[in-house]
Every structure is written in C-alpha cells, then in structure tokens.
A and B are shown apart, each in its own frame.
Chain A
C-alpha cells in the first residue's frame, strides 16, 4: 500500500521540493498551500503523514495541528512540523500540541523523508505486524521490477532501492524482515551494504541474500564473509531466489529488536550556541551529512527544548551569557531522561582549563570551534555510535537480567505452588481425620450413654418397688450425669463443626432468627415470663445456620441467667459504631465479674457453679468461633448482679472464604 503524504506549505519551492523527494521515495504526495485546502484533503481519504508549516496564509499551523489531533483522521497520522520559526518557543509549542517531529528550515529532504518513514513504521509496529517485508537493492530497474512482481505475488511487501547508500537508509527506516542486495552497485557494493547492516544493533539480525552475476568463488566467499545469509547467482530463476529467501526467513527466528533505534536512521542534533552565525554554519555542515539540527541560543533554551524534544547528540558551547555551558552540561547530566545523550562541549579557546571544566561537568567529548567541520562530524558520528553500542549493551544486560529474574520468579512461583499444595493436602488430611474423629465420637460415645440412661430409666420404672428413696435418687443421679455428658458431646461437636463448616454468606434477617430462637425458649419454659425485646430490620451478610447457632447460645444464656431476677429483661438490638454496626444481646441477669471477661470465651470456662446455672461452658466459645469465621469481633461487658451485654460485629466480608 502506498502511503499518502499531505504537504501543507505556502511556499511553492518547498512544496515542489518535498513532492519530488516523497514521490521518489515511493510515497503519494498531496500538496496543499492553505489550511482550507488541507482540511479539504484530509476528508478525501486516509493520510499516513502530514508535513505541516507553521505560518500559513489563512491560519496558524499549530492551531491546525490541534484541530487535526482532535479529529479521527488526524489522530492516527504522523505529523511533522516544518518551520522557519527558529524560536525555541515555537518548537516547544508544536511538540506540546502533538507533533511527532519538528524540523527547522532549512531542512534536509533526505532527513524529512527518512523521519516520515520511521514515524510510519513506529505507528505500524503498534498496530501489529502484517505481511513479511523485503527490501530489494538493485541498480537495474528491469530486474528490480521483475523481482518486485514475483515477491508481491508471493505475499511479501516490497521496498525498492537503487543504491547501497539509499538502501541502508530505507533499511533503517522500514526495518524489513529480509534484504536482497545486488553484489555490484554504483556506490558502495553489496558486500559493504551487508557489512554495515551487521554493524547496526537494530539491523544486524535481518537476513540478507546477496545477488551476483559472477560465478567467481572468491566473490562468493567475500560476500559470505561480509555476513550474507545466502548467495544466489543473478542468472538463476526468480523462483530460486524466492526459495532461498523463504529458507533464510525460516531459519532466522530471532525477532527484530523492536525498540532498538537504528544507527543508520535519521538523527537529530541539538546545537547550543549564542552566536547565530556559528549555529548556521554548523547547521548547514551537519545537514549535509543528513542530520537534522535543532538550534538553541542559550543554555536555558536548550534545557527547555530537551524537555519536549528527544535528540541523539548535543553540541554545547562552553562560553555563553546567562546559563554557562558548564552549568547547562551539569544540569543535563543530572536529569535522568536526557543524561545519556552524548554531549560534546565546544569552545573557541584552546584552553586546557576550560576543557577540564567541561569534561568535569560531565561532557562526553570536547572540541575546539573552527570553520573546519570534518573533525566535528567525525566526533559526532563516533559519539552517536558509542551511544548506540552502550544502548545495545544495556539492552542485552537488561534482557539477561529480565530472563534471570523471570526464571527466578518462575522458580519461586513453582516452589510456592508446591509448598501450598502440600499444605493444602496436609490440611485436608487433618480435616478428614478430624471429621472421622468427630463422627465416631458422636456415634460411639453416645451409645453407652444411651444404655446407662435407658437401663437406669428401666430400673426406675420396672423395679421401683424394690428400691428405696436413696436407691432411686442414685439412679436419678446416674441419669442426670449421662444426660449431661450427652450435652457435652453435642456441644463439643457443634464447636468443632462451626470451625470446619463452609461459610455460606447470604442476606440474613437477624431479627427473624432471634424471634425464632425466642419462640423456642418460650416453648421450652412456658411458665417463665421474660420481657424479650428484639429490634426490627436487623440484616447482615452472614451464614444463617451459623448465626442461628450463635443467637441460640447468646439468647439462651440471657434467658438462663435471668432466671433468678424479679423482672427479667432480654434485648437484642444494634447500634452504629466506628462506621460499622455493633449487635448486642443485653440482659439484666446474674452478670459477671469484668476481671474474668477474657475467660468467658474459652471452652469449659464457667463463671458460675453448675448447681446455680447449668451449662457446659462451650456455648460462648462456639459463638466466638462463629463471629471469628465472619471476620467479626465479640466482647462482653457486665457487672455482678446487674446483667451482661454481649457485643459482636459481622463485617460484610468476602463470600465463601475460610477465615
């Protein structure tokens, strides 16, 4: 698919220049002179890239940019601002408004095209990979076209290039899945192209097929030595080339380094100098090398720019009014995001002290200013390359660390899972044991009790005449003890059951449950007259069976301990406290000594004699366990002879969980 480039500029020269450059690069250029034309053009169809001038006859480019970013068509396009506005604030404004790139005029067409390609590729990478892409570098138009047709038929997306130099650039921008390169080319030859690709961190994994007309074994060896993955003679059938291509694509399983920036890709340099003349000279020299140069007139401007504009290298004048080069350098090198950008210090002086100052502030290199830019260019290249290698090393290190960390995490997770499984198994085993134990307790311990009670009763009924009062009393005691032990067994089983039972939370009306309990209590002792007050509308997220057991115990206790007061009162109600609800059961019965409040909830702990108030001492332990299971809290307040109040909470917790 051909990418459409919308070129919005009022200068005819710029339009023609860019139309020609993009056309040659295989784009579909769409020139516009005004904001109105641009608006019209955007409605016509999908646009991949928009090159946008800032000063337009009928409006402001940055305003149009804002408008574009808000529209569906403009939001997906890559937008490149192109402006004569040398002012730093314009650049900052453009980038902040949503431009992907800001290029100052004069510009290098090669840079603009390369940047456009890179932006498109970055956008496509986000939207997932499509067909495999192949770059064909050959100076013969006929052969290029023949190969393109064959490749496209086979389902590849093809990029074409007619020279090694251009091919490298296209490779850097498009990141093809494979490269087919002719051995003999007008500029640098095919072997050199491959060698340079192999030097680039981002491209070294791309499989390369070298084509040549020669049958010379030496040329083949030389090519393979340069790092070609396959070697095909140009005389071979095109199908043969396709087969080799498919083979090398299959064997290179390594995914391309997605986030790596290519050494051969378009580079941006920030030049900071207070002399406009020098900036212009420097700019034109570097642009000739294909760099885009962002000028800044002071340290302050440079820092402001760096906040919004990523660059690949910084050239910084040491002697500037305002913020000095040294201070600017120090600030750049202390900012985490930009401190890794190579920084070359410039000065007019052949000054050893100045050089040391610059380097001590963190500069990566140091060079004397002169009209001769060759050394500077070489240093810039070297610094960018160094940064590239450092980045790659760091990436490799991070990758290794990441793998090691992942392996460690996986191991830890596995160990954790194993330990957990073992614990769960152990817990289940213990639970089953406990279950079996309680089951046999409930069966086997009760059977003899039944005999003791049953035969005592039989004696009392059938042989009453043979027994005197004392004998009958003994038998009654035997029965009472057997029955009490039966109750103890029942209560213990219940305590054990409430700890093990699954918690089934649901909306429960506590008022209804309490009323049901009260009704049973009245039925069991119809002669007692207790004033029972139960608040209406008490609702909780809780297990109704367990709550019923808790209320049985709490209300049963209140009922029991009010047996000896003149006007017994029992109340079940709730009150808000600390953002939650506190339920309570209050009575005016026997009460208890607060010094023993802690002991109340322990199994078998009783604060009253059996003769005074019968009981097993397990009920409150059961209630506490039930409240615990719901994640709630229980506590009691009381005074001897004045009654007791049992408070509890039932926080609305996770459903079904075991606490």
Chain B
C-alpha cells in the first residue's frame, strides 16, 4: 500500500494551528499537513465531498489530530461519524484538547479515539507530545490494511 504521509489537523484556533505546524516542522517529520477549521470541513475532506470533492478519495490521512471544541460540527460528532463510516472506521484519531475533563476523555475513548492528548500550556511539552505522536503514528505504527 502506498502511504499518503498526510496528517489531517482539525483545529479552529489559528494560533494552535500555527504552533502545531511549527512543532511538526521542528520535529523533522516530512509530512503533508492538511488543516480544516471546523468539523464539517473535516468530514468533507475525509469523504471527498463539497469543496474537497476533487481529491482522490482513496488517499486517506495517516492520522487525524482532532480538537474537540469546533464550530458547526464538534469534535466528538466528527469522531462518531468517522467511526460509523466504513472508509474511516479504522483511521487513527488523536484527540487534542485544552481540557482534561473526565467526560471529554471518556467520551473520546468511548467513540473510538486512539489517543487523547491534552494541549499543555508549556509549548515544549506539546512539542514533545507532537513528536511522540508523529513518530508513533507515522513511523512505528503499521496502518491497518485497506
């Protein structure tokens, strides 16, 4: 299987987008990062519809970094719809969020999140996490056959 090397970042906060992109850059991971600003756009991208209807639907991201608080369709709903669809059922999803509220953590895992990372205020911590995630999902982890 050809690996897409694409990371889908679903994040509405431009600062967080900027800092995340910078962190990936710093960690020397050669990946293409697609950014979507809300849940609806994320789903459009994943299912190659609407503004993303032109893309090759067979080329799925390696991992989705999903914020929970999003405009329009929130993160948990995006996760629910992904898990309900055959095409995205097994796609690794890492939930990124500011909160460590129990209901968010449990809700994410219940809906089939693969990992849960709390965005730390100390950006170095976040970079460590991003690095670790990138290494794990893009280097070490064998994506499911499909």
Contact = CB atoms under 8 A, between A and B. Distances in A.
Interface of A: 438-439, 442-444, 446-447, 449-451, 453-455, 457-458, 461, 479, 482-483, 485-486
Contact of B13 (A442, A447, A449, A457): A447
Given A457-B124, A458-B19, A458-B22, A450 B99 contact: no
A450 B124 contact: no
B97 interface: yes
Contact of B123 (A444, A446, A453): A453
Query: 9 tightest CB-CB pairs across the interface, nearest first?
Result: A486-B121, A451-B15, A454-B123, A454-B19, A442-B99, A446-B98, A457-B123, A443-B98, A449-B121
5 contacts: A442-B100, A449-B121, A450-B98, A450-B126, A453-B123
A444 B15 CA distance: 13
B101 A450 contact: no
A442 B101 contact: yes
A485 B122 CA distance: 11
A450 B19 contact: yes
Given A442-B99, A449-B121, A482-B121, A454 B15 contact: yes
B26 to A, nearest CB: 8
Majority secondary structure of chain A interface residues (helix, strand, loop or mixed): helix
B88 to A, nearest CB: 26
A466 to B, nearest CB: 17
A443 B123 contact: no
Given A442-B98, A442-B101, A458-B22, A447 B16 contact: yes
A447 B98 contact: yes
Most chain A beta-carbon neighbours within 10 Å: one of B69, B121, B122, B126: B121
A483 B122 contact: yes
Contacts of B97: 443
A450 B123 contact: yes
A461 B26 CA distance: 10
Nearest to B15: A451
Interface string B10-48: 000101100100100010000000000000000000000
A439 B101 contact: yes
Contacts of B22: 458
A449 B125 CA distance: 14
Given A443-B69, A447-B16, A453 B122 contact: yes
Contacts of A444: 98
B62 to A, nearest CB: 24
Contacts of B100: 442
Nearest to B118: A446
B122 A451 contact: no
Most chain B beta-carbon neighbours within 10 Å: one of A449, A458, A485: A458
Interface string B121-142: 1111010000000000000000
A92 to B, nearest CB: 74
Given A442-B99, A457-B123, A483-B122, A450 B15 contact: yes
Contacts of A458: 19, 22, 123
Given A455-B19, A458-B19, A479-B122, 13 more contacts: A442-B98, A442-B100, A442-B101, A443-B98, A443-B99, A446-B119, A447-B13, A447-B16, A450-B16, A450-B126, A453-B121, A453-B123, A483-B122
Contacts of B120: 450, 486
A457 B97 CA distance: 20
Contacts of A483: 121-122
